[in-house]
Amino acid sequence: MPPTLFTADQIAALLKALPDPAFLLTRSGLYSAIFGGADIRYYHESSYLIGKTLTEVLVPAKAEWFLGEIHKALATRSLHVVEYGLTGSDVKGMENEGPLQAIWFEGRIQALDFQVDGEDAVLWVASNITGRHQLEQQLRLQSESDELSGLFNRRKLMATLGEQHSVFKRYGTPTALLIFDIDHFKNINDQYGHPFGDKAIRAAADVCRDELRATDFPARLGGDEFVVLMPHTGRTQAEPIAERLRLRIAEALLRLGALDGGATISGGLSEFLPGDANAEEVLKRADEALYRAKRGGRNRILSV
């Protein structure tokens, strides 16, 4: 059976029916043609882009990124796949109109064997993957979060400690670390029950979220133990932060009621040192200071 021959109109109709949009983009970033985008659940009419350039449509940083990916595809001559997000603030003239949350796409970019408008060109097929991206983000967050406290979990903490130690070794960026736990926590569980102990852990975690800076990294190490990593912060700078946490957590635990005289925390504070072979060494120093604080009467932060 001979192959079906399509007319020019039929080929045009086929291209128009493509669910995902395909952009014909030149090396300089000119939108030469646009095909498809028929799935109106995910895509808006984009034919107005034809004849415009990326720099005319997108803010400079975003336009530069797109041009860079086009050049990579042209250099390799093979299929180049990227993932990227776009918000209204990325598109000129839509800063106050477009979506506040990023819409995520997978871009499949293939260099063409012929020139378009006198330039090398690529076919850029954009597929909306926002749903998949959000699910991946949720799964990643779940794998990195402690279910009870809502803070980062031990696995995420240890990975971040290793990353931060690498940054410290390379750039000398000061980094402090605080470890603390709730005083007499076993007695709290024994006297008031584990559900009340869970409330105490959540109360301490809430204070961490409220009192710490956006750059700080609070995590639940396990049981009633917490760790706060403070990048770009030396031990001396971290001391008032740790002391504020001690006072605020004591207040939060007192507000829970039932506890005779409230409850307190004890902690150990240290910082990354040039001689540390790994991040576990600073964690060990802080942990030793924590236990000295316990032996010294509790309700205190010791700095080493």
Average pLDDT, the chain: 92
Average pLDDT of the segment spanning 138-152: 88
Lowest-confidence range among 93-97, 110-114, 143-147, 154-158?
93-97
Give residue 97's pLDDT: 60
Q: What is the pLDDT of residues 86-112, one digit of tens each?
A: 998 899 876 556 556 889 999 999 999
Catalytic residues: 224
Domains of the chain and CATH, by start: 8-137 (3.30.450.20), 145-303 (3.30.70.270)
pLDDT of 2 reads 75
In the chain, alpha helices (H): 8-16, 54-57, 60-76, 130-144, 154-171, 185-192, 194-211, 235-255, 279-295
Using CA atoms, how far apart are residues 54 and 30, in angstroms rounded to an integer?
Answer: 6
The whole-number average pLDDT for the span 195-204 is: 95
Answer yes or no: pTM beyond 0.95: no
3-state SS assignment for residue 150: coil
